[in-house]
Amino acid sequence: MEKVDAAAVRLAPMTDEMYHSFFREYESDPDLLMEGQPYVPYAFSEEKVERYIRRQKELGRVPLAILCGGEIAGEIVIKDIEAKKSAVMGLTLKNAGYKDRGIGTAAEKLAIRHVFEELDIPVLYADALLTNTRSLHVLEKAGFVPIREDGQFRYYVIERE
């Protein structure tokens, strides 16, 4: 896979239309399965996407589209927001065509800056399945520091300096 120049990656507020576009090409990632969980390919459904969008709004999450070369490469969701205190970040890339190209690392760095500067939140948490070595690597490249593991997940933190 060809690496992407980090300057080509940007974040934008995720709109309903962007979500539908994102999920039309989304593919489940086998690396995100818990031990013993069977792989089930993702099947696009307008209703499923609408439910997802509603849930994001109901929970007060901040969804950001990861844009690369004019395409939606993935999403970053800022969740569990405690104003002026902390939040949790999650990242999902659309499919394997966007992985291992530096897009996730560039997007996480932009999201960290957005949380610290725009949302004025000084502490950001993230986690990844221990089996998802790609995500573990990306979190650490973006500056997150591991704080604990529980057998399935590794938990991380990054603090504004």
Q: Is residue 59 part of a domain?
A: yes
Q: Is residue 1 part of a domain?
A: no
Say what the pLDDT of residue 119 is: 97
> CATH number of the domain that 91 lies in?
3.40.630.30
Q: Which residue has the tokens 């890339």?
A: 93
- Name the residue among 91, 136, 86, 133 with its Cα closest to residue 110: 91
Structure tokens at 18: 């962007």
Say what the pLDDT of residue 33 is: 77
Say what the pLDDT of residue 112 is: 98
Range of the domain at 140: 6-159
Q: Is residue 107 part of a domain?
A: yes
Say what the pLDDT of residue 74 is: 97
Query: Which tens digit of pLDDT belongs to each residue from 2-13?
Result: 899 999 999 999
The structural domain count of the chain equals: 1
pTM for the full predicted model: 0.93
Q: Is residue 145 part of a domain?
A: yes
Q: How far is CA 85 from the centre of its chain?
A: 20
Say what the pLDDT of residue 29 is: 86
Residues of the chain with pLDDT under 50: none
Instruction: Render 94-136 in DSSP notation, one character per residue.
Output: SSGGGSSSSHHHHHHHHHHHIIIIIS--SEEEEEEETT-HHHH
